[in-house]
Structure 1
Amino acid sequence: MAFRLIRDDSRRYLDPTPEATGGRAEAQRAVEVLGADYLRWSRVGLGLLGFVGAVIGASGFGLIADAIAGGHPAVITAFAATMGTALLAVLAASLWLLIRLATSGSRLVRALAAWLAGPYRSGQLASSWAGWLHTRLLLFRPGVFVRIAAASCAALFGAYATYAFLSTFAAPSPALLAPGLLMYGCWAATAFTVSVVLFAGSIRLVNGRAQADRVWRSVRDGAIR
């Protein structure tokens, strides 16, 4: 079966109206379908593949610079140029995959949060003290927990890449400056973007579920007054 970023049975729930999300039975069905789609392990695996591919592909900048700098036999220069081009192609494909995952994931989690919150906003379901616990337990659901852990790891890698980017300015050879800046800059931008996307999705999901939390709603309503 071909992989689909958004399953066919999820599409009918992607753009819900406030009236549609208010129904308890329909909302429960939508949450089941969208939740199973968004929290698929195949999405996590493809995201990891795209991230690793971007990190490895960014090293193509160094090979291209080495080929342009010259000073090597023609065979070595041709090999470096070919490998560098191939790695940059991997980088482009990996970034494309990450962008597709981010955009489709954003659509899924927005709709999922709306369906989670809908019955509580319409009054079909009442928030409770038990909702406080259920909302926090959502953070430990495997699919959500792995995304939060991955976002934290990506942020740490982004911090390392930023340090390496700044350290490159002290490179003894000008020939190492440009490819180093490009590679580490690409690493940092990719890592921080992935981290923000993953954290944002998890926060949006928990925020939708938090409508069941009487404590959260009391604090929110008190702040609005």
Structure 2
Amino acid sequence: MPFVLMRPSSRPLVDAARAGQGSPARADGAAAELRADYERWGRWWCGLGAFVGTSVGVFLGGAAMDMIVALAPDPVGLMLGVVLGVAGLGLVVVCGVVLFRLWRTGRALVRGAAWWLRLPYRAAGRTRRASGWLEARTVNFEPPVFARIATSALALLGGVMGVSMAFAPTGIWDMPALATAFVAAGLLSLACGCGQLGGVVRLVSGIGERDPLWARLRGDG
């Protein structure tokens, strides 16, 4: 089966969640299917590769611009800079589109999963149990979820490091395009970290519907 960002079987479940129409009787199966789609290792690896590709493209573009300025009188250096710039732009466009589509489909999947997870408790009065408190916390240690937490934390750390280059000593700005590329890569990293971590938080929030303590704190229990 070819790799897809969202399985065809998930689309009707996502649409039902968006419309707020679904049967509590099929909620468990629907939530499990959407979670399985969202938590696929293929999506994680695809996102990791697209992030690396976009970052490399940004740095290639920055290095190419500085090279063109520095070697403008040399036709060979100028041609090399143009080639690197085109390659960098291609990587940014292709990998950036993949990252955006991963974010869009991931957001749809996790929102749908959270809605189906809540449905039996809010629409059918399913009893919340004390084990729900534990489930809402142990889900963070399931390998697909933990991998996303780890990479989002690393992305946020890398983002802070990249953006901090904007406040670095003036020496690094001797190559302004490359320095700007560091900042741009940092902003990209922050966006990816926030997007990935946001998906995990939304998923945990949906599973937390099983927790009677959380329901009482919200005033639902």
- Give the one of 198, 201, 216 matched to 1:200: 198
Residue in structure 2 matched with residue 45 of structure 1 by the alignment: 45
User: Which residue of structure 2 aligns with residue 4 of structure 1?
Assistant: 4
Q: Any idea what the Cα deviations from partners look like across 1:66-111, whole Å, max 9, x if unmatched?
A: 1134355312221121122111211221111110100010000000
Which position in structure 2 is the counterpart of 1:130?
131
Amino acid at match of 1:159: V
TM-score of the aligned structures, taking structure 1 as reference length: 0.90
| Cα shift at 1:168 | 6.1
1:175-213 CA-to-partner distances (Å, cap 9, x unmatched) read x12x03430121111110011101110111111111100
Match of 2:54?
54
Tell me the residue number matched to 1:190: 188
Name the CA distance, whole Å, in 2 between partners of 1:8 and 1:89.
29
Query: Residues 92 and 169 (structure 1 numbering): CA distance in 2 closer, same or farther, change over 3 Å?
Result: farther
Give distance in 2, aligned partners of 1:27 and 1:147: 25
Residues 64, 84 of structure 2: 8 Å contact kept: yes
Deviation of the 1:170 alpha carbon = 4.3
Q: For 1:34 and 1:187, how far apart are their aligned partners in 2?
A: 31
Alignment partner, residue 29 of structure 1: 29
Moved more, 160-169 or 85-94: 160-169
TM-score computed with the length of structure 2 as normaliser: 0.91
User: Is the CA contact (8 Å cut-off) linking 1:168 and 1:181 kept in structure 2?
Assistant: no
**Equivalent of 1:217 in 203, 215, 218:** 215
List alignment gaps of at least 5 residues for structure 1: none
- Alpha-carbon contact 2:32-2:113 (below 8 Å) kept: no
Misfit runs of 4+, over 2 Å = 15-19, 68-73, 168-173
Question: Structure 2 regions of 5+ residues with no counterpart?
Answer: none
Aligned to 1:143: 144
What amino acid sits opposite 2:48 in the alignment? L
User: Which amino acid in structure 1 is aligned with residue 133 of structure 2?
Assistant: W
Percent identity reads: 29
Residue 166 of structure 1 and its aligned partner are, at CA, apart by 2.1
Deviations along 1:134-183, whole A, 9 cap, x unmatched? 1111111111111111110001101110122321644463xx12x03430
Matched to 1:29, the amino acid is G
Contact residue 64 and residue 85 of structure 1 kept, 8 A: no
**Structure 2 residue identity aligned to 1:186:** A
Q: In 2, distance between residues paired with 1:135 and 1:191?
A: 27
How far apart in 2 are the matches of 1:61 and 1:53? 14
Q: Counterpart in 2 of 1:89?
A: 90
What's the CA shift for 1:220?
1.3
Q: Which residue of 2 is the match for residue 20 of structure 1?
A: 22
CA distance in 2 between partners of 1:115 and 1:58 (Å):
39
